[in-house]
Structure 1
Amino acid sequence: MTPLACLLAPLLTACGGGSTDEAPLAAPDYRLTVELPQTGTLCVNLNQNDSCDAGEPAVSGTAGARQLSGTSPTLLTSPLLFIPADLAALTLTHPAARLDGQHLTPTPLSTLLQTRIGEGVPPAQALAKVLADLAPLQPGQDLAALAQLTAFNQALAELALAALKDAGTLPGMSASERQRQIWLGLVTLLPELGQHFANSPELLSLQPRFAAVLKQQQPRALITASGVTTYSDGVDYLLTSEPADHPGQDASLKQSPLRYRKLDNQGQPLPDSATQWDCVEDLNTGLIWEKKLDDPDSPRDLHRAFAWEFGNYHPLQDELDYACPNGEAICTTEQYRQWLNSQQLCGIQNWRLPHAQELMSLQHFGSLSQQDGQIATLDVRYFPDLGTGFNGFDGYYWSQTLTPSRRLESAPLSVIAPLFWGDDAGTDYPTPVQTPDDTNALQLRLVAEVTR
């Protein structure tokens, strides 16, 4: 049949059967209408940083509608960034359009939605959660509803700006870092804000409550010291003074050293010489950490690994089977959290999954300690409980911090897991969750905040 088709091709073309008269395919043209909320610049933030860079589709001017167009589909798959001309105003973001011909308006609510998506929450699920949080305001059921809540958006902006201008809120951070923490705090407080606004259409009276949320969100500086107290010349890393040709080393920064205190099961301090303790208090951050047991019959066993469960995220059956091959009753991070709180370990009932930054504050980068022939980057004088996990992931610990960093590897949802044991100790790793082809179970160390 192939030779026959080749012979007939010229005849078919001659009698109109070919395509020589057709115009070449034109490059697609994607279009968006974007609304500048005030004077400033709005761009399609291709690299998802905090600036509108050269090469990114952008428009500038006073408030009003503008057109964006381009031949690349990234116009529709990248979030929007609005940078106001007034440096004291709020930078706003908006989720990617996803569809051609959309009319998008960056607002405080769209920024909260993009904040959730940036933390690794799937867009549809993130939107559903935001709309549920706003239920008292009776929003619509789609993305456009966020721009239609004009009065609430204005009240959100006033609350965020008040926090941004308060020098006592999140001190020691850059303006961009403070804005990010403010948006994260508003995400946490959104259900309460929605209910309050429905009863009394203002939010500034909640400023003290919001400040408390921000303080709890970032209670203290978590980067206190690296634990490195010796110097290196590139060969010897145990020098007692800094070589002139290798200046600026950690040991010269004179940071507060890593400092811990042992606690008994009632949360009372113990001397460093104590041989039995249940919790460890970090004297730099004020955080209290559970200590594991070497007891295979206890959920606190140092060798136990768990399936990740947090908030609305629940593990797949494959993950449950992987974490609990023998049908253990306490199998997920959430089940363990509830169990540990019921035990009131160290007199504490508010144990929680730590943020990745909180776990990383435990990293002892100057550690020379070893367990089973591998470097251990926990201070083993207080945390002698590094165990082995599953499938080569020994010394990895779950956090509650989501990341989208492995989406190109077909892992749309990953959790940052710091590593404290082995050749790569001192690093962290995005570990896929809710991914059928990549099931994981990691170790777990819960944290609590206690006011003394």
Structure 2
Amino acid sequence: MKPQLTILAISLALAGCGGSGGSDTSASAAPTYTVSGTITAQNIDLQSQVCADINQNYMCDSGEPSSTANANGEFSITSTKKSILSVPLLAQVDAGIAANSTSASASSYAYIAAPGLQKNTGNEINGISSLLAGYVADGLTVTEANSKLKAQLAKSGISISGDIQDDLSASELASLEQNIVSTIKAFKHSNRAFMLAQLSAKFDKSAADYVNGVLTNEEVVAFANFLEGELKAATALNDTGVIRYFSDIDDTQDVAEPQSSFPGQDAEYGFDKTELNTNTGNGFQFAKLDANGQVLADDAAEWSCVLDQRSGLIWESKTDDENSIQHKDRLLALELPGVVTPYDQDVDLATCKTKGDQVCTTQDYVEHINSINLCGKSDWRLPTFHEFYNLLDFGETETNSDGRAYGLTYKYFPHQTAGIDYTSYIGSVWNQSIIYNQYSNTAVDGGFYYNEIGTLGGDRGYISSLEIYSGDVDSSDNYDSYQFPARLVSLQGK
């Protein structure tokens, strides 16, 4: 693996070299990229701001490439950031929030979206494109999003030939398009990615018919409120798992009792204390699931998945069998459809090369686990940064063969990765945390920065920024970057 210096080390090295050193100061103009298209949503002001959602928080932030559409809804965005072609495109519209909500968290703006399609021209933003974007926000590829949405439409007798993004303004989709935009405008919560993903997955399960006819405001708000409830259930935080106290009298060992001389410690607060006092746990509520997704007895000796009853997320169980594709230490190259293509040298070092199979990247692994319908689910994906961090148990005392404490609750997650030698923050697994707000003048063209979460021993919860290579990196001039195992997640009820 190519050694990677920290930004501080690089700065010191340059200082030691005396600075200028004959470097080439000539500058050529940075290349620019353009993405254009049309807002075609009904009953909104077409002269709306449109932005490329670089940080993918589903709102137009200051500094993100943007423009204002003309009276026909036509827009064009130009930027030196190539990612404008692959990130969601958002149209900022008036939410009319005063009529629907007095919530302090409500925004006066709503955002309809289109997934990044790598298209310079011909992009279209409306309610139907927002459904596709919602599925992509939940980890699906555009192709998978098309399949999901077509299946939902088929239930209402609507058949779209070809890709839906090429027929977003079809007359048979007019009612659905308008109802989706109205529902997005009724959202009160700021977690827009989750809300949009839930709307995509569940509009066909609403008591109101989203496809045949325009809904009343009451029907729209009722379903928006239902999705708000789904958000509350699915984003509840676990506690830290810390149930013991540091003692300033004997600092060689934690103690079970609160310390009056050292007040305000973690164990005095939250679910940890409440559940410890009632002998029900350490701030987590897990359930073991069988291969069909049915809840097992808590003392079951074998299980396939783990349900986090606080967050509503279902986690894949790993195995200690080295011949299994679900082995805890199976290494994968990172692949995030539409964002990161796999780097050849990382693929060459993946476990698939020694096992002789084709599951080499994180996307290969996602597709494999979905193909076997693990625990009755087919929406498995890499977790987000926050989803995985919420799973960490800082109170776990069970250790691995190297004497390092596990980062996840051992009773439910007995098979945890041991990590790899070239990073000190061992026990890492892949998540989706590609970041764009870090810069180094030594960064490799085509590389990305990534937030790695340490999960073992003293590094539990430690976050390190690593440079990950993509398929755009010249492999003839660079070594490999990183390969980690993956632990996939699914949402309960989907």
TM-score range, shorter chain: 0.5 to 0.7
Which of the numbers 112, 124, 127 marks the counterpart of 1:108? 127
Q: Secondary structure at the match of 1:83?
A: strand
Contact 1:258/1:284 (8 A) holds in 2: yes
> Is the 1:307–1:442 Cα contact (8 Å) retained in structure 2?
yes
Contact kept, 8 Å, 1:309 with 1:315, in 2: the verdict is: yes
Could you tell me how far apart the structure 2 residues matched to 1:99 and 1:338 are? Answer: 28
Deviation at 1:361, TM superposition (A): 3.4
Which of 158, 171, 194 does residue 181 from structure 1 map onto?
Answer: 194
Distance in 2 between the 1:203 and 1:127 partners? 28
The amino acid across from 1:83 in the alignment is Q
Cα deviations across residues 332-385 of structure 1 (Å, max 9, x unaligned)? 5257626975xx8xxx44474453354333211344554324343112244332
**Letter of the 1:258 counterpart:** F
- The residue type paired with residue 93 of structure 2 is P
Contact kept? 1:308, 1:398, Cα under 8 Å:
yes
Alignment of 1:167-178 (within 5 A): 175-177=189-191
CA distance in 2, matches of 1:412, 1:270: 44
Structure 2 Cα separation of the partners of residues 159 and 315 of structure 1: 35
Matched, 1:442 2:484: yes
Normalised TM-score (structure 2): 0.54
> Does the alignment pair 1:64 with 2:71?
yes
Q: CA RMSD in A?
A: 6.1
- TM-aligned CA distance change 1:92 to 1:434, over 3 Å: same
Tell me what 2:329 maps to.
303
Distance verdict in 2 for CA 1:214–1:431, change over 3 Å: farther
Letter in 1 for 2:353: P
Structure 1 equivalent of residue 6 of structure 2: none
CA contact (8 A) 1:35 1:64 kept: no
Q: Does 1:365 align with 2:394?
A: yes
Deviations 1:107-140 (A, max 9, x none): 234545666777899xxx8499759967944579
* Pairing 1:25-424 to 2, within 5 Å after superposition: 38-39=44-45, 42=49, 44=51, 48=55, 50-51=59-60, 53=62, 64-65=71-72, 77=84, 81-88=90-97, 90-93=110-113, 106-112=125-131, 126=142, 136-137=159-160, 145=166, 148-149=169-170, 152=173, 155-159=176-180, 161-162=182-183, 165=186, 175-177=189-191, 179-187=192-200, 202=213, 220-230=234-244, 241=258, 251-254=268-271, 257-260=283-286, 268-271=296-299, 276-279=301-304, 280=306, 282-285=308-311, 289=315, 291-306=317-332, 319=347, 322-329=350-357, 331-332=359-360, 333-334=365-366, 337=369, 348-350=375-377, 352-353=380-381, 355-356=383-384, 357-371=386-400, 372-390=402-420, 392=422, 394-399=426-431, 401=432, 403=434, 405=436, 410-411=445-446, 418-424=453-459
Consecutive unaligned residues in structure 1, runs of 5 or more:
1-24, 167-173
Cα distance, 1:326–1:218 mapped onto 2, change above 3 Å? farther
Alpha-carbon deviation of 1:331? 3.8
SS in 1 for 2:353: coil
Q: CA deviation at 1:261?
A: 5.2
How far apart, CA to CA, are the structure 1 residues paired with 2:311 and 2:461? 19
Give CA deviations for 1:45-94 in whole Å, capped at 9, x if unaligned: 6865624548976659xx82589899975799487644334433742346
Distance 1:354 1:370, change over 3 A: same
Larger Rg: 1
Runs of 5+ consecutive residues of structure 2 not aligned to the other structure? 1-28, 98-108, 151-157, 276-282
Gap change, CA 1:204 and 1:440, over 3 Å in 2: farther
TM-superposition CA deviations, 1:150-169 (whole Å, max 9, x none): 77365234135347758xxx
Q: 1:32 to 1:305 in 2, by over 3 A?
A: closer
Cα shift readout 1:282-328 (whole Å, capped 9, x = no counterpart):
45446555544444444454433345678899967752663233334
Asked if 2 retains the 8 angstrom alpha-carbon contact of 1:117 and 1:126, the reply is yes
Instruction: Report the secondary structure of 1:378's partner residue.
Output: coil
The answer to whether the 8 A contact 1:242-1:249 is kept is: no
Cα distance in 2 for partners of 1:337, 1:71 equals 39
Q: Scaled by the length of structure 1, what TM-score is found? A: 0.58
Q: Identity of counterpart residues, as a percentage?
A: 15
| 8 A contact 2:139–2:382 mirrored in 1 | no
Whether contact under 8 Å (1:321, 1:327) holds in the other structure is no
